Amino acid sequence: MIRKTMSAVGAWLARVPVEDPVDRRNAPFVQLLLLAMGTLMPINKVVHLFFTSFRHSMSVPGLITDMLTDVLMMGAAWFGIFLIRRGAFRPAVKMYIGVMLFSAAWAYSLIGLDRLSNDPFPLLLLGLGGLVLGRRTLWTVYGLLMVVFALGTVADIYHQWGSGPLDIPIGKKVSMAMSYAVVAFVLDRTIDALRESLAESNARGQLLQIVNERLRREMDDRARAQQLLIHAQKLQTVGRVAGGVAHDFSNVLGVILGYAQRRERLADSGTGALLTALQGVEKAATRGMSITRRLLGFSRQEATQLEVFDASEALRELLPMVCQLFDTNVRVQLSPANTPHAIRFDRTQFELVVLSMAANARDAMPLGGNFMMAVQGDAEHVEVVLSDNGTGMSDDVSSRVFEAFFTTKPAESGTGLGLAVVKDLVYAAGGQVDVRSAIGFGTTFHIRLPRKDLAAVSMMPLPA
């Protein structure tokens, strides 16, 4: 309970509308100090008046002066708290120091320096003025305190005048002035060191802020560049698919045109033949729409959208588009999976990874061959395997195949960015990609991704 209360009080003291960070850091302490001065000062005065010989050692004017100055300083403390809560931190401190100095000058000029020699307020004024307002205020307060001490010395001389020889301990007063000078000097050096440390800290903070802002811009630029690169890779892959898509559309349109050319004969054959023909037209049109929808969705430039899906199902849906990449002398196969293999990936980016590798496999099999896609895994990982029996790669080429701008293709047919993008996308999904290849024995890519929990998956039959 006590800790909770202290925490709430500390939060309230720190919640001040002060813009300067140093003043905002000093505000809780100064408020506590003023709160103590405004509360403890009247208690201290009551104790001195009723439980010590303080009131018997002072004259009536001196006692009245002491009471009035205490009331004045107590009011200044509470008013200073009011100003700080309104955001006027420095004016509040200046006001309080000014009232304290005025009260000290009034009291010392009437009571004298000897009777107030143990007064702790001069040290308080030096510390408060120097640490909160700076070195100039520190030495200004010191100079004004020397004036106050001089007034007190004059009051001491006045009180002794006409009552015998003067007993003014000049050495003691000089020693007091020198002591305060040493305190002021130590505070000055301490404040200077603190200010320098704070300035260095602020400079480092500003430099760090600049560096962070520059890093943030670079990360944003990198993200935008990566999105543009991914989109460019999609468009390049779409270009490669275009030939196969055109051939497929030609077949679709050929079917529709064939039914249309036989319309009169079909009409003579009766309603049944006409319905059968329309069903054929519908199937052909549906296939064309499916190809168009898949191609448009793949080539669209969209922000990354991670989702959990079955890798086997994704490969099954992508199979027709993969087939469009290859000539008729290449056999494309998909090894079916008996259980769901869920991964977390951007669906279109996953398709880009597969199509990019399929495109490389096509270039590696100019005379034809086999391209295999399979999904396997264990309790923690899902592995997508893409392999061909093409020309293969040497160990040197295999070790550099994922480097940006590295390519063995002619300048007009390869950028060297396809597999670099693949690696970045797989790594961003928390996975790894490896390659195994040998000259004359083809190439196999292993994409290893974390397995995710797929609560419900509708598994459609995979082609054998």
Please list the rounded mean pLDDT of every run of 10 residues in the chain (464 residues). Answer: 82 85 84 86 66 55 74 89 90 91 84 67 83 86 88 80 68 78 85 78 82 83 68 59 53 58 65 68 62 56 76 86 80 86 86 82 89 91 93 89 73 61 85 92 94 61 40
pLDDT value, residue 384: 94
**Sheet hosting strand 381-388, strand order edge to edge:** 330-335, 369-377, 381-388, 443-450, 432-437
166 CA to centre of own chain = 73
Confirm if 92 and 80 have CB atoms less than 8 A apart: yes
Tell me whether residue 311 is exposed, middle or buried, using C-beta atoms within 10 angstroms of its C-beta: 0 to 12, 13 to 18, 19 or more. Answer: buried
How far apart are alpha carbons 190 and 196 in whole angstroms? Answer: 10
Q: What percent of the chain has a predicted confidence (pLDDT) above 90?
A: 13
pLDDT value, residue 462: 40
**Side chain identity at 146, as an amino acid letter?**
M
**Residue-wise over 17-34: b if at least 16 C-beta within 10 A, else e?**
ebeeeebeebbbebbebb
How far apart are alpha carbons 106 and 152 in whole angstroms? Answer: 9
pLDDT value, residue 43: 74
Three-class secondary structure of residue 217 per DSSP: helix
Q: At what angle do helices 170-261 and 271-299 cross, to 10 degrees?
A: 160
Residue labelled with tokens 């002072």: 58
**Side chain identity at 451, as an amino acid letter?**
R
pLDDT value, residue 4: 82
How far apart are alpha carbons 245 and 229 in whole angstroms? Answer: 23
Confirm if 27 and 84 have CB atoms less than 8 A apart: yes
pLDDT value, residue 58: 57
DSSP 36-58: HHHHHHHHHHHHHHHHSSTGGGS
Residue labelled with tokens 């020693």: 175
Q: List, for residues 406-456, the tens digit of each pLDDT value.
A: 777 665 555 556 677 788 888 888 999 999 999 989 999 999 999 988 764
Three-class secondary structure of residue 404 per DSSP: coil
pLDDT value, residue 342: 92
Confirm if 38 and 76 have CB atoms less than 8 A apart: no
Look at domain 305-464 and name its CATH class. Answer: alpha beta
Residue labelled with tokens 């100079």: 143
Residue count of the chain:
464
Say what the pTM is: 0.45
Confirm if 371 and 365 have CB atoms less than 8 A apart: yes
Q: And the tokens for 393?
A: 């790669």
Residues 325, 327, 328, 332, CA torsion sign: negative
Q: And the tokens for 45?
A: 């005065």
Across all residues in the chain, what is the average pLDDT?
Answer: 77
pLDDT value, residue 375: 93
Q: Which residues contact 176 (CB under 8 A, 6 or more apart)?
A: 117, 149
Three-class secondary structure of residue 70 per DSSP: helix
155 CA to centre of own chain = 65
Q: And the tokens for 196?
A: 């320098």
Strand pairing class (369-377; 330-335):
parallel
Confirm if 28 and 10 have CB atoms less than 8 A apart: yes
Instruction: Name the residue among 179, 187, 73, 194 with its Cα closest to residue 130.
Output: 187
Q: And the tokens for 437?
A: 């290849």
Question: Domain spans of the chain?
Answer: 2-168, 305-464
Q: Which residues contact 128 (CB under 8 A, 6 or more apart)?
A: 30, 33, 93, 96, 97
pLDDT value, residue 370: 94
115 CA to centre of own chain = 61
